[in-house]
Amino acid sequence: MDVVVKGRHCEVQERFRKHVAEKLAKVEKLDPKVMRVDVEVSKEHNPRQAGQSERIEITCRSRGPVIRAEAAADDPYAALDIAWSKLESRLRKVADRRRVHHGKRTPVSVATATAATLSVNGAVPGEGPGDERDVAVEGFDGEGPMVIREKVHSATPMNLDQALYEMELVGHDFFLFVDSATSRPSVVYRRRGYDYGVIRLEV
């Protein structure tokens, strides 16, 4: 398993790189399928954000879904500890899901449990998204809006239940996916409590 540490608008000290590698060595025990772990370190230079100035984002890439966690604190070591705690919880969730037996022990799917809120289809689960890459995007002149960052993800069609599951693994409030039953671009998003919503596009 490769651990790649990079700084964004900041320099990462060698001592911190070694600390990250030692801490993330536990990832392989939780999920042997993880092939690479990317750690992005960034620093907020705004004095008003001093308490959250150090940000750590950890991304695990494997043959399964992408698992991500991020955190911010006033110290990079503290931010790493918080991010690792979130990541460890999500890795354990993946491991627990693999151990579930089919049949009577199979839990009710998230899609079934939220059927009152969402319109659920009976699609076959797909695989998680593949690699992602950043694309440089130029802004507009004048007073128009400016796009400063764009991400392009490779997507394998999946059903609603898998999309909800992968949204939880990356810790986001929304997840963009292609519905395997309808081939429609769709977004599932978190509402209040354990309620979810879904938006679908008719192309």
Tokens of 132: 């992602």
Name the CA dihedral angle for 165, 170, 172, 177, rounded to a multiple of 10 degrees. Answer: -60
In a domain, 184, yes or no: yes
**In the prediction, which pLDDT does 123 show?**
33
Residue-number span of the structural domain to which 161 is assigned: 110-200
Give 11-33 pLDDT, tens digit per residue. 889 999 999 999 998 888 888 88
Judge if 118 and 55 occupy the same domain.
Answer: no
18 shares its domain with 95: yes
Q: Is residue 35 part of a domain?
A: yes
Give the model's confidence band at 130: pLDDT under 50 very low, under 70 low, under 90 confident, else very high: very low
Count other C-beta atoms under 10 Å from residue 141's C-beta: 7
CATH of the domain at 91: 3.30.160.100
Q: Pick from 69, 99, 129: which residue ends a domain?
A: 99
Based on the fold, state whether residues 14 and 58 are members of the same structural domain: yes
Residue whose tokens read 């960034």:
42
Looking at 38-52, 126-140, 152-166, 184-198, which range is the least confident one?
126-140
Six-digit token string for 25: 């060595």
Q: Within this chain, do residues 18 and 78 fall inside the same structural domain, yes or no?
A: yes
* 102 has a pLDDT exceeding 80: no
Q: Say whether both 82 and 143 belong to one domain.
A: no
Residues 6+ apart with CB under 8 A from 139: 146, 147, 148
Residue at 105 is within a domain: no
Same domain, 90 and 25: yes
Cα–Cα distance measured from residue 169 to residue 86, given in angstroms and rounded to the nearest whole number: 10
Residue 106 in this model has a pLDDT that exceeds 60: no
Q: How many CA atoms lie within 13 A of 27 on its CB side?
A: 29
140 and 196 co-located in one domain: yes
CA gap 47, 50 in Å, rounded: 5
pLDDT computed for residue 80 by the predictor: 93
Q: How many distinct structural domains can be found in the chain?
A: 2
Where is pLDDT greater, at 115 or 86? 86
